[in-house]
Structure 1
Amino acid sequence: MSVQTSPAERTRRNRTRRRAVSVRLAQVALGVVLLALWELGAAGGVLDPFFFSRPSEIVAKVVDWVVDGGVFRHLRVTLVEALLALVIGTAAGLGVGFLLARVRVLAEILDPYIKVLNSLPRVVLAPIFLLWFGLGIWSKVAFGFTLVFFIVFFNTYQGVREVNQVLVDNARMLGAREGQLLRHVFLPSALTWIFSSLHVSVGFAIVGAVVGEYLGASEGIGFLISQAEGVFDTTAVFAGMVVLSIVVLLIDVVVHRVERYLLRWRPAVDTGAN
């Protein structure tokens, strides 16, 4: 049995699709224009190729790395470090965020300590983690954890605090226990905040891994960029950043699709012009 959609619904969906296509075309056009200006500026001497390289040379370097296959070993190390930092940081941020949002006294006690820890410059912590955990992956995971944890924690904490108290009271009147409230009320209500933090956390997890590798490692994209910088190979430095950018965009697409699937119960919002 097929579900009939109203003309207004079909119009709204068509408008949304057209707007999405227009936005994608505008994004591609903007990127092409910026790259063309960069290429022309480097070719015409406006930009010094020694410092800025050229997009054509950067693309050629990325292709060489892919054909050679060596970049995949470094990329795998960086992704493993970033994934561990993301998973551990997200799990800890969710757990602590839910706990402090539900236990107000504990949140008040720990509030100054959380603010102090969050205010610490992360770059200062990286050498300490290298001393504690060595040059292996765990020093990079620890550094990435410090970046991911607070993003997820603050979003989760705020998301749970923003839950409508009337909804919570009604669930309690129906006999819902704390675990049921967590599963059926707080978690669904806070999912938007949580996924908002995950979009940012993915990039920060990779940043943490790369910065840790840059400061001390024997493999990884950060190590690759550090080696290129040591011999003033600007093209390879930009190529490493391009590889990381592509990976972050692909992961963000996956996170976005998971978010759409888990939040499919939300009513669609038409952001197009009438």
Structure 2
Amino acid sequence: MSVMSVSSERKAPMAKMRFGLGLSASRLLLIAAVLALWQLAVSAGWMEPATMSSPVLVGRRLYEMFASGMIWPHLFDTLGAAVIALALSALVGLALGMALYRWPLLEATLNPLLVAINGIPRVAFGPLIVLFLGVGITAKVALAVSIALFVFTTNVLEGMRQIDPMLRRHFLLMGAGRWQTFRMVTGPSLVTWMWAAVDLAIGLCLIGVIICEFISSTSGLGHLISAASMGFDTTGVVALLVIIVTATVIFRIALIALRSWLAPWSK
């Protein structure tokens, strides 16, 4: 190995780190600029605080929510339902996607139905789900799963199609059982497709839970947003949206860290 190649290998991590720091700084500067312009517009009278609020008012409301502790039960209700929905969507989507691949007739039969159901706005399902399952976490999870399940199913099905069938056949010919073949060939190949589905499903599950809380719920962030909207409390609505966005980002960062630990090859 030449001296130049060793030097290049050493510089690569530093260059990647500098790029990451620069990207983070750029994002923070952009957010700060937007907040500054927003506050300037309100302070100068270009925008009405009653209709658009302001960063100062939103920050004050966020402090009051967390300092009083009133936000925590609602936050945990929403995030808990979203996590359960994400896990169920992943498990059912994995099983359904593999079943559709295993039995082509089943795929040909169900595919038009799945596409049709996926095209229906989930808000239309909300009242029916609440009617059958009642007001509670079960209805929230069911509505969120109805949104995210299609993502996992299609990703798993496409991932199965991308696996070389000769590779699986060789493992079976060498005496490997179906479980060994899944663990050594199918599973690792599907990891990338599953994580891609997770990236999309995080937001979808939160949307499903919050939609259900809008429709009928006594707790959760969606319930608070609905109450604030009916009271024309713009500051409260914006503060709750900030909490939802922040929770989504933290949720995604945690899953990325989990992915790096469990499946570093799938990055």
TM-score normalised per structure 2: 0.93
Query: How far apart, in 2, do the equivalents of 1:56 and 1:78 lie?
Result: 26
User: What count of residue pairs does the alignment treat as equivalent?
Assistant: 263
Q: 1:15 to 1:167 in 2, by over 3 A?
A: farther
- Aligned equivalent of 1:87: 87
SS of the aligned residue for 2:182 comes to helix
Alignment of 1:263 onto 2:266 = no
Task: State whether structure 2 residue 45 is matched by structure 1 residue 33.
Answer: no
The corresponding residue for 2:74 is 74
Residues 118, 147 of structure 2: 8 Å contact kept: no
Matches of 2:144 and 2:205, distance apart in 1: 5
Q: Quick one: distance in 2 between partners of 1:19 and 1:166?
A: 41
Correspondence list, 1:94-105, <5 A: 94-105=94-105
Superposed, 1:212-231 pairs within 5 Å as 212-231=212-231
SS in 1 for 2:46: coil
Match of 2:236 in 1: 236
Corresponding residue for 2:10? Answer: 10
Match of 2:164 in 1: 164
Cα distance in 1 between the residues matched to 2:11 and 2:240: 44
| Deviations 1:71-96 (CA, angstroms, capped at 9, x unpaired) | 00111111221122111111111111
Q: 2:144 maps to which residue?
A: 144
The structure carrying a bigger helix percent of its residues is 2
Within a 5 Å distance, the mapping from 1:186-201 to structure 2 comes to 186-201=186-201
CA distance in 2, matches of 1:179, 1:115: 31
Q: Secondary structure at the match of 2:203?
A: helix
Which residue identity does 2:163 align to in structure 1?
Answer: V
Per-residue deviation, residues 213-242 of structure 1 (Å, max 9, x unmatched): 111111111111111111100000011111
2:144 is aligned with 1:122: no
2: distance between equivalents of 1:229 and 1:158?
A: 41
Judge which range, 133-142 or 169-178, deviates more: 169-178
Of 99-108 and 251-260, the range deviating more from structure 2: 99-108
Deviations 1:30-57 (A, max 9, x none): 1111111111122223333222111111
CA contact (8 A) 2:159 2:189 kept: yes
Q: In structure 2, what residue type is equivalent to 1:188?
A: P
2:131 corresponds to which residue? 131
| Shift of residue 202, structure 1, vs aligned partner | 1.3
For residues 9-34 of structure 1, give each alpha carbon's deviation from its aligned partner in whole angstroms, at most 9, with x where no partner exists. 22111111111111111111111111
Measure the CA separation in 2 of the matches of 1:116 and 1:177: 37
- Which letter does structure 2 place at the counterpart of 1:102? R
Instruction: Give, as a single letter, the amino acid of the residue that structure 1 aligns with 2:175.
Output: G
- Aligned partner letter, 2:78: T
Q: Per-residue deviation at 1:105?
A: 2.5
- Distance of 1:100 and 1:208 partners within structure 2: 25
Maintained 8 Å contact 2:85/2:142? yes
- Aligned CA-pair RMSD: 1.7
Cα separation, partners in 2 of 1:102 and 1:8, compared to 1, 3 Å? farther
Q: CA deviation at 1:182?
A: 1.8
Q: Which amino acid aligns with 1:174?
A: M
Change (3 A) 1:58 1:185: same
Identical-pair percentage: 28
Structure 2, unaligned runs of 5 or more: none
Letter matched to residue 187 of structure 1: G
Regions of 4+ moved over 4 Å = none
